[in-house]
């Protein structure tokens, strides 16, 4: 055991924040890409992977549905992080001195009202935490960064304003993945099961496949489709349902699903996180 949890991005990224929140006793290991995060766990460099899967404003994270089934890893938990945007600058710099801010492209429109109010121009960056690191190195007094407040702590910047996002509902959902599955746990609230499947090429296959969940009273909280290898005929579906595969209704629904599919793979069974019920 390394007691490390891998994430994508620079230290101070929102994925890093998710690691410190969900696994405060573990060392967070930064990686350049999602593929590197997965590789770190598969090779034993880390024990767990923290991967963003969807955002309440922007939908699913690009490529993540393709990566998870091929990763060889298993979902063992989920975590939700509210995207709270802080404006940070070099120590001693006032808001009046700042004329530009750098941030990941998705953060700029979320804080458009605040930037307009203060006459600040937003410039997109590949990574907000990386932009914070670069600002600390550059010493530019007319620049700021929009990022998680954790980035300011790490790079010695000063937070000039917190929670400047235009809307307070923006949340990212992460999944925590391990080399081994764990079907023994039972959550205090309920269990979630995540799986991918490919329907058979017959009329109404998806409709028939979904029928088992309806007749058995199993709640499906997520169903998304995506192409496999660029094919217009081989469509794969990603699904989240409430319940455990050993629960009789879930077991019956999955058995019926298999009858109408070419393949079905369970990616993880894990306790539902509390934010689902807030």
Q: Which residues are CB-neighbours of 233 under 8 A, at least 6 positions away?
A: 201
State the DSSP H helix or E strand holding residue 185, giving kind and residue range, or none if neither.
none
Closest CA to 246 of 202, 149, 181, 196: 181
Q: Which residues are CB-neighbours of 125 under 8 A, at least 6 positions away?
A: 102, 103, 104, 105, 131, 134, 145
Contact 108, 124 (CB under 8 A): yes
Give the bridge partners for 8, in sequence order.
Answer: 31
Q: Which of 172, 195, 197, 237 is catalytic?
A: 172
Q: Which of 7, 34, 174, 237 is catalytic?
A: 174
* 277 SS3 class: helix
Q: Which residues are CB-neighbours of 150 under 8 A, at least 6 positions away?
A: 12, 16, 17, 20
Is position 172 annotated as part of the catalytic site? yes
Is position 7 annotated as part of the catalytic site? no
Q: Hey, which residues are catalytic here? A: 172, 174
């Amino acid at each position: 055991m390394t007691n490390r949890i891998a994430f994508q991005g620079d230290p101070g990224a929102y994925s890093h924040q998710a690691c410190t929140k969900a696994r405060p006793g573990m060392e967070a290991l930064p990686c350049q890409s999602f593929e590197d995060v997965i590789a770190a766990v598969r090779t034993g460099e880390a024990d767990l992977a923290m991967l963003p899967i969807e955002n309440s404003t922007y939908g699913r994270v690009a490529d993540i549905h393709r990566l998870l089934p091929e990763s060889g890893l298993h979902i063992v938990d989920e975590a939700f992080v509210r995207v709270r945007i802080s404006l940070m600058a070099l120590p001693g710099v006032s808001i009046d001195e700042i004329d530009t801010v750098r941030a990941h492209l998705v953060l700029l429109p979320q804080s458009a009202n605040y930037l307009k109010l203060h006459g600040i121009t937003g410039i997109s960056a590949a990574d907000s935490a990386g932009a914070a690191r670069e600002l600390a190195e550059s010493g530019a007094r007319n620049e700021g960064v929009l990022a998680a407040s954790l980035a300011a702590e790490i790079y010695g910047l000063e937070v000039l304003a917190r929670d400047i996002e235009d809307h307070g509902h923006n949340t990212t959902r992460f999944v925590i993945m391990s080399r081994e599955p764990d079907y023994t746990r039972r959550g205090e609230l309920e269990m979630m099961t995540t799986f991918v499947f490919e329907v058979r090429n017959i009329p109404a296959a998806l409709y028939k496949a979904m029928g088992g969940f309806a007749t058995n009273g199993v709640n499906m909280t997520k169903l998304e489709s995506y192409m496999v290898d660029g094919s217009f005929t081989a469509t794969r579906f990603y699904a989240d349902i409430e319940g455990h595969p050993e629960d009789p209704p879930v077991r019956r629904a999955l058995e019926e699903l298999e009858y109408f599919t070419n393949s079905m793979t369970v990616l993880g069974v894990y306790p539902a996180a509390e934010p689902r019920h807030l």
